[in-house]
Amino acid sequence: MKCYLCGKGLTDKNSSSEHIIPNAFGGKLTARILCKDCNSDLGSSFDSCLTKSLEWFSCKVNHSRSRGSVQPVKVNIDGMGVFALPRGDYDGIKVEKIQDNHYRIHALGKNAQAKAKSKAKEIILKSGKKYNWTEGKVNEKLEKINSNIENNIKQIEHPLVNFTIQFGGKDVLLSVMKTAINFAIMKNVPLNYLNDAIKTLKENNDDFKSFVNSFYPENIFPENSIYHTLLLKGDPQVGILYCLLSFYGVFNAIVLFSSCYNGEHILHSYC
Ligand SMILES: [Zn+2]
């Protein structure tokens, strides 16, 4: 086996297993198809853009990964910047000054009350210093924190979570192309049908537009099931070789490797 980018012969020493679907999405399928140098050169730049595009879904699904773990995502709830945590909880705190020495504390998540209390304590200690309160006055205020907060809780019943997802763009689509190429190489598709796509990937050039496009059909997957799929098909009768990809069932793309395919019938899928 040779590295499909530089053509170097692959050995146990100079190569490692490449994730066909990025590790950041919990991809488990691996193959020895790139040398170590090409693997690290190629991985960092555009895969991270695709990862960023889909981070909300990774966070909500909270799947396992071969390396590292799913990261919290910045979102906005009722005008407040917070973090969505991988297990479904939110984390964030904001202090709003109503008037002198009157504050409203917005706290989110499992330990919201405890977080609000400790924030209030911090504010009192700071105010005590600022206004030279006596120790007695500070202690009196500290003693009231718990009841003050517990008696004045206003809970938001259905908070509106706002976040932005940006699909598409050159780097994202190049990353999609890479996954499709990885899968095709792994399935031993003859290189002559892949060389143009590999060249585009290697040169990072604008020809990617003629190979890859994304689409967002509604409800193509059954409800309550989330998975990644790859489908590689070569059809000599129609003369096309392509790979369909779907990440989380949300981001879908097609990579057209060849529109003059005259090799064997190919059909490989992975889910
Ligand atoms: Zn290489």
Q: For 128-160, what is each residue's pLDDT tens digit? A: 999 999 999 999 999 998 888 888 888 877 878
Q: Which residue has the tokens 């990809």?
A: 245
> For residue 60, what are the contacts with CB-CB under 8 A and spacing of at least 6?
84, 88
Residue 93 CA to residue 81 CA, distance in Å, equals: 9
Q: How far is the CA of 158 from the centre of ligand 1 (A)?
A: 51
Between 101 and 15, where is the model more confident?
Answer: 15
Q: How far is the CA of 98 from the centre of ligand 1 (A)?
A: 61
| pLDDT, mean of residues 161-169 | 82
Residue 258 CA to residue 221 CA, distance in Å, equals: 27
Residue 77 CA to residue 83 CA, distance in Å, equals: 9
Q: Which of 120-129, 214-223, 256-265 has the lowest mean pLDDT?
A: 214-223
Q: How far is the CA of 240 from the centre of ligand 1 (A)?
A: 27
- Whether the pLDDT of residue 86 is over 70: the answer is yes
User: Residue 255: helix, strand or coil by DSSP?
Assistant: strand
Q: How far is the CA of 171 from the centre of ligand 1 (A)?
A: 20
Q: How far is the CA of 201 from the centre of ligand 1 (A)?
A: 13
pLDDT at 108: 86
| Pairing verdict, β 80-84 and 73-77 | antiparallel
- Whether the pLDDT of residue 79 is over 90: the answer is no
- Report pLDDT digits (tens) over 29-55: 999 999 998 887 776 678 888 998 899
pLDDT at 120: 93
Q: Is the distance from CB of 88 to CB of 59 less than 8 angstroms?
A: no
- Report pLDDT digits (tens) over 198-250: 999 988 889 999 999 988 766 655 567 788 999 999 999 999 999 999 998 88
Residue 92 CA to residue 33 CA, distance in Å, equals: 43
Q: How far is the CA of 39 from the centre of ligand 1 (A)?
A: 7
Q: How far is the CA of 4 from the centre of ligand 1 (A)?
A: 7
pLDDT at 44: 67
pLDDT-based confidence at 84, cuts 50/70/90?
A: very high
In percent, the amount of the chain with pLDDT more than 70 equals 96
pLDDT at 221: 55
Measured CA distances, 199 to 14, 75, 188, 206 (Å)? 22, 38, 18, 11
pLDDT at 243: 97
pLDDT at 219: 60
